[in-house]
């Protein structure tokens, strides 16, 4: 007997089931013994049956002849015919002997049939028991097979669901990787355009402020904008307006040539309340904008709500004398010109 087993890949393998094999073999042996006993019974019955019928007929004739002979002998005896009486009596005894011979042979033949039937009846329970035991085992096997098939169907369903989820996960992962690569490529392209040194271009942090200026941080300790980071600023037209390499000092020297009249990025977290300009040559404070045509040299001061202010001089090509003042402290205080913590 073979049983069906299912592999995880969904294919079916066949495995011998020793107990089913043993039971089937026992059932088959019992069946063969029963069949042999039955065939022997049928054969004896078919052989002895006609002879029994013939003996029945012969015995009946002998009996009738015996009865007739003894009646004739009795009649002859009553008529005092001794010779005829003896003759008929001898005939009656001969018919009686013939009848008894038929009965004896018939009994022997019937006994043979009964013995064959008994032998068949003796093996029949063994066959029925083996058949019943095999049927029970087969039923258990069929139940186990059905459970296998149910579990296999559930496995296939779960496998299909897993493969679908894995496929969706991989597609999303590939999408995220692709988006990540594009972001890295875009950041690298921006860093390269701004002139960030090559060794930093693959690890930069970029932000864009409300004025459209792009801030590029790189080279910091632990992360691009960590301690000691470099900082480049590129305006919306692609011109670099501020350039400070890692661990270089902060200050106006990092601005690219060009005058600055207002710097909303001077502090990282705080916007200025306003700005004041003064002509350094005339001390005229009425002008607000630098006059490039007349090359007016201006002193610019931005002031904040926490009483910090930042000042610098500009001639239209560059800025200089960039310095902070903490108006909360006396001018003579040693920390009166220390920049605020969020100063860029």
Tell me the per-residue pLDDT of 97-133, one tens digit each, with 9 for 90 and over: 999 999 999 999 999 889 888 887 887 787 788 778 7
Query: Is 97 a domain residue?
Result: yes
What is the Cα–Cα distance from 265 to 202, expressed in whole angstroms? Answer: 25
Please state the domain count of the chain: 2
94 & 237 share domain: no
Residues 161 and 212 occupy one common structural domain: no
Instruction: Provide the whole-model pTM.
Output: 0.36
Is the domain of 142 the same as that of 239? no
- Please check whether residues 123 and 15 belong to one and the same domain: yes
Mean of all residue pLDDT scores within the chain: 84
In angstroms, the Cα distances linking 138 to 9, 52, 129, 144 are: 27, 45, 14, 10
Q: Indicate if 139 and 213 belong to the same structural domain.
A: no
Of all residues in the chain, what percent carry a pLDDT higher than 90?
Answer: 46
Which one has a higher pLDDT value, 80 or 12? 80
Token digits of residue 282:
């005339």
Among the listed ranges 82-86, 257-261, 334-338, which one has the minimum average pLDDT value? 257-261
Cα torsion 127, 129, 130, 136: sign: positive
Q: How far apart are CA 125 and CA 64, in angstroms?
A: 45
| pLDDT digit string, tens, across residues 12-44 | 444 447 877 887 788 788 778 888 888 887 898
Query: Which of residues 207 and 319 earns the better pLDDT score?
Result: 207
pLDDT at 315: 67
| CB neighbour class for 95 (10 Å; exposed up to 12, middle 13-18, buried from 19) | buried
Q: Let me know whether 35 and 153 are in one domain.
A: yes
C-alpha 289/C-alpha 296 separation (Å) is 9
Q: Which domain range does residue 32 map to?
A: 2-167
More confident residue, 214 or 32: 214
- Rounded Cα–Cα distance for residues 271 and 274 (Å): 9
């Amino acid at each position: 007997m073979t049983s069906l087993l299912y592999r995880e890949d969904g294919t079916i393998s066949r495995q011998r089931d020793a107990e089913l094999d043993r039971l089937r073999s026992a059932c088959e042996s019992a069946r063969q013994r029963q069949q042999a006993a039955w065939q022997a019974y049928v054969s004896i019955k078919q052989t002895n049956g006609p002879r029994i019928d013939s003996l029945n007929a012969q015995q009946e004739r002998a009996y009738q002849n015996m009865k007739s002979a003894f009646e004739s002998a009795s009649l002859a005896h009553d008529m005092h015919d001794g010779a005829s009486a003896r003759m008929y009596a001898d005939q009656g005894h001969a018919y009686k002997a013939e009848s008894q011979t038929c009965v004896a042979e018939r009994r022997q033949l019937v006994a043979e049939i009964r013995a064959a039937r008994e032998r068949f009846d003796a093996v029949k329970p063994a066959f029925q028991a083996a058949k019943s035991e095999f049927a029970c085992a087969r039923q258990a096997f069929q139940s186990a097979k059905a459970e296998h098939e149910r579990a296999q169907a559930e496995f296939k369903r779960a496998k299909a669901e897993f493969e679908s989820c894995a496929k969706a996960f991989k597609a999303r992962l590939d999408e995220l990787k692709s988006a990540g690569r594009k972001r890295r490529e875009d950041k690298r392209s921006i860093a390269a355009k701004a002139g960030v040194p090559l060794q930093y271009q693959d690890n930069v942090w970029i932000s864009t402020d409300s004025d459209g200026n792009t801030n590029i941080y790189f080279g910091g300790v632990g992360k691009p904008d960590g301690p000691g980071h470099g900082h480049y600023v590129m305006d919306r037209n692609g011109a670099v307006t501020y350039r400070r390499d890692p661990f270089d000092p902060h200050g106006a020297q990092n601005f690219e040539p060009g005058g600055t009249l207002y710097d909303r990025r001077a502090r990282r977290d705080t916007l200025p309340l306003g700005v004041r300009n003064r002509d350094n040559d005339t001390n005229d404070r009425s002008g607000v904008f630098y006059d490039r045509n007349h090359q007016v040299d201006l002193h610019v001061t931005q002031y904040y709500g926490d009483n910090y202010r930042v000042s610098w001089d500009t001639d239209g090509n560059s800025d200089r004398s960039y310095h902070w003042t903490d108006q909360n402290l006396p001018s003579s205080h040693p920390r009166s010109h220390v920049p605020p913590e969020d100063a860029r």
